[in-house]
Amino acid sequence: MANYNKVILVGNLTRDPQLSYLPNQTPVCEFSLAVNRRWRGTDGEQREETCFIDCRCYGKQAETFNQYMSKGRPVLIEGRLQLDRWESQDGQKRSKHRISVQNFQFLGQGGRDQSSSPSAPRQQSRPVAPPQDAAPEAPAGPEYDAAPMDQPVGPGDDIPF
């Protein structure tokens, strides 16, 4: 029998990501997603539920995720469902499902802090001014060498429509 374990979620971060390091210095980023579901009940009333999902990513992805994401930001994640098991201090066996993130995609604006974009790091950076002696930029766009309209189009010429 074949097995397949793939999870794709789109949601908003419920808190800022937390970056830590394993004993072998591998970065680990933990965060939680809120995924909303809206539907109309049998009584015709609009309903909504929110599912909170814990996620974890490793390595360079963990550092990138921690640098660019913050509470409230929307993100798409792909990964696999993983069951963590441990024994608590009082001797009880515990378990928890979590998503082990394999890929993610930053999505548009969201959350409370609308002042920065997903492409801007969370930490503050000082803007860099252009050099004083910089030449003005050339106008954007390609230069076209227009052919006269009275030239016939041959069988080997492409018509761009």
Q: How far apart are CA 82 and CA 79, in angstroms?
A: 9
- Percent of the chain predicted with pLDDT > 90: 63
The pLDDT of residue 108 is 79
Asked if residue 90 has pLDDT above 50, the reply is yes
64: its two tokens:
């990138």
The domains located in the chain, with CATH, are 7-106 (2.40.50.140)
Q: Give the three-state DSSP class for 74.
A: strand
Q: Is the pTM of this model over 0.75?
A: no
Overall average pLDDT of the 141-153 stretch? 43
CA-to-CA separations, 124 to 46, 62, 115, 130, in angstroms, rounded: 41, 19, 12, 19
Overall average pLDDT of the 38-50 stretch? 92
pLDDT tens digits for range 50-88 = 999 999 999 999 999 999 999 999 999 999 999 999 999
